Structure 1
Amino acid sequence: MGCCLPKPKNDGDESVHNAEFVGGNVHLITTKESWDQKLTEAKRDGKIVIANFSASWCGPCRMVAPFYCELSEKHPTLMFLTIDVDELTEFSASWDIKATPTFFFLKDGQQIDKLVGANKPELQKKIISIVDSETTLQK
């Protein structure tokens, strides 16, 4: 499905607001510190993190964003984060992001799954699978 390759860096003023990427229970990560804080919070609360690495100029990212927000409302036991690869360039590079959107699924800060591209059915399937496996573990 759709994904975008990284956009070349441009020094022009591209102050595009990320309002379309947040909503529901999605938290916008704008600093490495806020990332660390959310991961610590998720670990403390026993939540799995879904991290959406996206870009404001990426069509597939914008297309999947409302669905991602919907999923965050349906699954409050998970923590949904969005990271703009252009705002946190070095941090995103440390995750080896080759295309946007890229979704990482993390438990206790460790990657348990990954999805590249705006594939809504696959994203939903992975989230339901994680929720089901967590529910089974808690019984």
Structure 2
Amino acid sequence: MGLCFSSTTADEAPANHPHFTGGKVTFITNKDVWNQKLSEAKTQGKIVIANFSASWCGPCKSIAPLYIELSEKHLSLMFLTIDVDELTELSTQWDVKATPTFFFLRDGQQIDKIVGANKAELQEKLSTIVDSQVPGDQK
């Protein structure tokens, strides 16, 4: 499992984020888009997986392809990525201390969290969440 701790300047951040975009992942560019997506998820009854990452973080880059793959597999969930250097206010609000940090949100409230690029743990938590969303009384 890898972790990165913020130590970069805005000048080191690339203009685009090819590692973190693709699949059904929405790249959050400002707080308005964040609020819109949380509202949309609540209306649609979707759980949000928010990936707080950094463009310079090796572990973030290594887990990004899996995150994108999972977004295409689990369409009942909403996948978001936030660059901690671009949205420092949001990162501070969510008390992100290391990247990547994955928050699992229901109705905008945290229900779980993973700190670090642990692929097995991310897959396991997503499977548990998807299994818990079985409609009706079949759980």
2:49 is matched with 50
Change (3 A) 1:6 1:79: same
**RMSD across aligned positions (CA):** 1.4
Change (3 A) 1:108 1:96: same
Q: Shift of residue 5 of structure 1?
A: 0.7
Q: Any residues of structure 2 matched to 1:40-79 within 5 Å, and which?
A: 40-79=39-78
| 2-structure distance, mates of 1:4, 1:13 | 15
2:93 is matched with 94
Q: Shift of residue 26 of structure 1?
A: 0.2
Taking structure 2 as the reference length, what is the TM-score of the superposition? 0.94
Q: Which runs of 4+ in 1 moved over 6 A?
A: none
Deviations 1:49-90 (A, max 9, x none): 000000000000000000000000010000000000000011
Opposite residue 67 of structure 2, the aligned amino acid is Y
| Stretches of structure 1 lacking an aligned partner (at least 5 in a row) | none
Opposite residue 41 of structure 2, the aligned amino acid is A
Change (3 A) 1:6 1:133: same
Size of the alignment, in residue pairs? 138
Q: Give the secondary-structure state (helix, strand or coil) at the position aligned to 2:79.
A: strand
Q: Any residues of structure 2 matched to 1:8-19 within 5 Å, and which?
A: 8=8, 10=9, 12=11, 14-19=13-18
Percent identity between matched residues is 63
Q: Give the secondary-structure state (helix, strand or coil) at the position aligned to 2:11.
A: coil
1:50–1:105 contact (8 Å) kept in structure 2:
yes
Opposite residue 104 of structure 2, the aligned amino acid is F
| Stretches of structure 2 lacking an aligned partner (at least 5 in a row) | none
1:105 is matched with 104
Q: Give the secondary-structure state (helix, strand or coil) at the position aligned to 2:6.
A: coil
Opposite residue 67 of structure 1, the aligned amino acid is L
2:125 is matched with 126
